[in-house]
Structure 1
Amino acid sequence: MVTAGLALSACGSDSLDGSGSSSSSGSSSSSSTSAAVDPQLAAGVPDKIKQAGKLVIGSDASYAPNEFLDTDGKTVVGMDVDIFTAVAQKMGLKAEFQNAGFDTIILGVKSGKFDIGVSSFTINDERKKQVNMVSYFNAGTQWAVKKGNPKKVDPDNACGLNIGVQKGTVQIDDLTARSKKCTDAGKPAIKQIVDADQSKVTASVVSGKSDAMLADSPVGLYAVQQTKGQLEALGEIYDAAPYGVVIPKDETDFAQSFAVALKALKEDGTYDKILDKWGNASGAIGDFQVNP
């Protein structure tokens, strides 16, 4: 009964570069987004990409509403998909999203497997040492529990509890720091229930295997919505930071083109329309920067 909802409540966001090997088959995106080609942006596309006529994008399609698999089980859809399909169109390119394990994407961009990576990556200094990142959305961390919070979970005192979290995300660091405070105070550690697929993290809370979970705010809130009242948000969003599209380190001019394209989409209303469509208007930004 919960499966249909949970299939859309996947999450995956902000890890470091990662070294996992859970990449999966690729697929093209399906999006009704349409943006006019900007000849200047099209001229600045690297030759290899221009000749291919497409922008190959690595994305972990388990992180609804940002990126997830459509009902056909193959096509990557979501908020990020719509945004970067429009960006690709501005550059005269077709967007091709390839589903991959979250913690393999930055490595894939660095190796040339993907032209860029779009998978709700929080911008941080570790990542900026390896790749260029262009900001496009603002998100924080949100906790969620079963409706009514039967385990009386307090994020500031979760010692000894089972907490669900996606592999490779910044929320792992968050939980690790919270757990250390517990053990330093002589209390039991937080047990992390880690899975590579956020939909399974969500399911673990619904089933009671996990007492709570934490994820990026758009993902956590969407998961609550998709479980149709079985989960509820706990506490306020915190540690808000921008998401960034991942672009090879030696392609700074191309990265700047993304900032220009995003600004154009903001000015013509496309950007805000997409966020509204996915219920994420609160995360909109107006200043798109390279390596902020």
Structure 2
Amino acid sequence: MTIAGHPAPAARRRGRIYRMGALAAGLALFATACGGGGGDGDAGQETTPKVEVEADAELAAMVPQEYRDAGKLVIGVNAEYPPGEFMKADGKTVTGFNVDLLDAAAGKLDLETEWKPSPFDAIITGVQAGKFDVGMSSVTINEERLEQVNMVSYYSAGTQWFTQKGNPQSVDPDNACGKRVAVQKATIQVEDVKERSEKCVDDGKAGITIEQYQEQTHATESVVSGKNDAALADTPVAGYAVKQTGGKLETLGEQYESAPYGAVINKDDTELAEAIAAAYTSLIEDGTYSSILEEWGVEAGAITTPAVNPDVDE
């Protein structure tokens, strides 16, 4: 999409400053996100590092006209999956490393972002229906989703199990028969644990009791409280939960089945997908990408080449 009839992108350049170091403020949020506590959640943020992202004229020229006219991207997000995306204590502001990355990418495109909380399993349908311009919520790219929408890779994560410190219920991810396991609804981990439970039953053992939660924070809290014996989630989420609970949790085994996260865009909107991929690439090249990941402590999942609809193995 061109920008004919509008001021040249260079004439509309403006610096955008995105706060990094939100992790420091976010560490105090876990108890609040799980249904308690209070406070403003912003203590110390004024002294956190910042990154300035300037609009790039060439990248902005890639943006379809309808989004240039709007001047923003409306983004569907399930803000309950720290550290990828979650609500600050004010209950209004979405934060997380995925949020920082897409905010910075939009800045390269000379666009603002408007984040709209949504149930995770309504994000893809919301993009398809035009409710959201982009879906961003630690969405793993797989063949089923690629049949429904365009996806732009920008990060890679595996699955990690975790349990109470000391593993009091002796959970073995490879033999969790008879255990109670928590997962967030509609994630790839649901099918993972279902397949494990089916194998238990096929082997003549008790199946796994699978507790599905709309919000990851509630799934995590169920393990902290002892209601469930273990949980599994994306690697950065599991690591973040262990860190935030102050020694109440520990990871089990190694991560597995690493796969890329993708920004979700409508199938009919390949030009926007290409623009976002180019913006992510620019962030990698100028160092902004690595700075954001390092600030959140999730640099292990960094990738080097964002792509639209990358090949993935099922």
What TM-score do the two structures reach when normalised by structure 2? 0.84
Q: What amino acid maps onto 1:273 in structure 2?
A: S
Task: Tell me the equivalent position of 1:18.
Answer: none
Task: Tell me the equivalent position of 1:73.
Answer: 91
Asked if 1:265 is matched to 2:306, the reply is no
Structure-2 separation of matches of 1:9 and 1:194 = 15
Task: Tell me the equivalent position of 2:30.
Answer: 5
Name the SS for the 1:130 alignment partner. Answer: coil
The one-character-per-residue Cα deviations of 1:141-183 (angstroms, maximum 9, x if unpaired) are: 0000000000000001100110000000000010011001100
What is the RMSD of the two structures over their aligned residues, measured on CA atoms?
A: 1.7
Q: 1:213 to 1:91 in 2, by over 3 A?
A: same
Name the SS for the 2:178 alignment partner. Answer: coil
Please state how far the C-alpha of 1:254 moved relative to its aligned partner: 1.6
Task: Tell me the equivalent position of 2:267.
Answer: 249
Q: What amino acid maps onto 1:235 in structure 2?
A: G
Contact kept in structure 2, 1:134 and 1:246, CA below 8 Å: yes
Contact kept in structure 2, 1:80 and 1:119, CA below 8 Å: yes
Mark the runs of 5 or more structure 1 residues left unpaired by the alignment. Answer: 11-30
Task: Tell me the equivalent position of 2:61.
Answer: 43
Asked if 1:206 is matched to 2:224, the reply is yes
Q: 1:3 to 1:289 in 2, by over 3 A?
A: closer
Structure-2 separation of matches of 1:277 and 1:9 = 23
Contact kept in structure 2, 1:8 and 1:223, CA below 8 Å: no
Contact kept in structure 1, 2:64 and 2:271, CA below 8 Å: no
Please state how far the C-alpha of 1:4 moved relative to its aligned partner: 4.5
Task: Tell me the equivalent position of 2:296.
Answer: 278
Please state how far the C-alpha of 1:32 moved relative to its aligned partner: 4.7
Q: What amino acid maps onto 2:80 in structure 1?
A: S
Structure-2 separation of matches of 1:90 and 1:145 = 40
Q: What amino acid maps onto 2:112 in structure 1?
A: K
Contact kept in structure 2, 1:143 and 1:214, CA below 8 Å: yes
Alignment of 1:17-28 (within 5 A): none
Contact kept in structure 1, 2:29 and 2:89, CA below 8 Å: no
Structure-2 separation of matches of 1:194 and 1:7 = 20
Greater Rg over alpha carbons, structure: 2
Please state how far the C-alpha of 1:81 moved relative to its aligned partner: 0.7
4+ aligned runs moved over 6 Å, structure 1: none
Which residue among 155, 167, 189 is the counterpart of 2:185?
Answer: 167
Task: Tell me the equivalent position of 1:84.
Answer: 102
Structure-1 separation of matches of 2:129 and 2:167 = 44
Please state how far the C-alpha of 1:48 moved relative to its aligned partner: 2.0
Asked if 1:63 is matched to 2:81, the reply is yes
Which residue among 116, 119, 130 is the counterpart of 1:101?
Answer: 119
Structure-2 separation of matches of 1:267 and 1:162 = 44
Please state how far the C-alpha of 1:8 moved relative to its aligned partner: 5.5
Q: Which has the higher contact order (CA 8 A, sep 6+)?
A: 1
Structure-2 separation of matches of 1:89 and 1:61 = 21
Which residue among 240, 248, 256 is the counterpart of 1:238?
Answer: 256
Which residue among 125, 137, 140 is the counterpart of 2:158?
Answer: 140
Name the SS for the 1:143 alignment partner. Answer: strand
Please state how far the C-alpha of 1:6 moved relative to its aligned partner: 3.6
Which residue among 187, 211, 215 is the counterpart of 2:205?
Answer: 187
Name the SS for the 1:290 alignment partner. Answer: coil
Q: 1:182 to 1:212 in 2, by over 3 A?
A: same
Mark the runs of 5 or more structure 2 residues left unpaired by the alignment. Answer: 1-26, 36-48
Contact kept in structure 1, 2:184 and 2:190, CA below 8 Å: yes
Structure-2 separation of matches of 1:283 and 1:202 = 21
Structure-2 separation of matches of 1:161 and 1:152 = 9
